[in-house]
Amino acid sequence: MAVTSLRVIEWPPWHYADRSALSWARSFRGAEERWPNMDFEFRFAVGMSSVDAAGIMFFPELLRHAHDAYEAFMKHLGHELRQMLATGQLLLPIRHTEADYLRPMGLGSECVARVGVSRIGKTSYRIVYRFLNEGGQACARAETVHVCVDTATGRPTTVPEALRHALQAYRIEGSD
């Protein structure tokens, strides 16, 4: 059988995704200078339970790793989520998530999630995650928006001053 055409497969398939991810990947070079406050790092390895049949991280697993990084970040800030839930002082549910996949993370990949804060509002804040592979290449980005909820009323409440101050230390310069 003769081969009459060759099909090039891109990773990720940009024709299915927002091409802004490509421009983000290009803009990632030199990010350390533009985002000096993303110095909290959470390291993880891509395990067997995180991959699909092709050996590539299954898409929802990125958000699981982002949440693991968020839990570690909050503990680092002195606002451990487990303690907050146990004392019933405040809830911080996720209102919004988004993720862009830039290159595959395969089984056994050693990765790092760099964490920063892009916005602190009256009742919510936005956490950004940059996922890098062992070679320092950008593999993905994610964002989560957390709303402060009063446990007594179930309604949004202002970000407590101590939490606001802790988050401010990781605020990314030039973000919205």
Report the C-alpha gap between 114 and 39 in whole angstroms.
Answer: 6
Residue 36: asked if its preceding bond is cis (omega within 30°), the reply is no
Which among 52, 100, 150, 176 is annotated as catalytic? 52
| pTM for the predicted model, two decimal places | 0.79
Residue 175's pLDDT is: 61
- DSSP for 142-155, written as a single string: EEEEEE-B-TTT-S
pLDDT beyond 50 at 91: yes
Residue 39's pLDDT is: 82
Reply yes or no on whether 52 is catalytic. Answer: yes
pLDDT tens per residue, range 124-133 = 999 999 999 9
Residue 89's pLDDT is: 81
Number of H helices, E strands in the chain: 5, 5
Report the C-alpha gap between 39 and 20 in whole angstroms.
Answer: 24
What architecture is domain 20-168?
Roll (3.10)
Residue 173's pLDDT is: 75
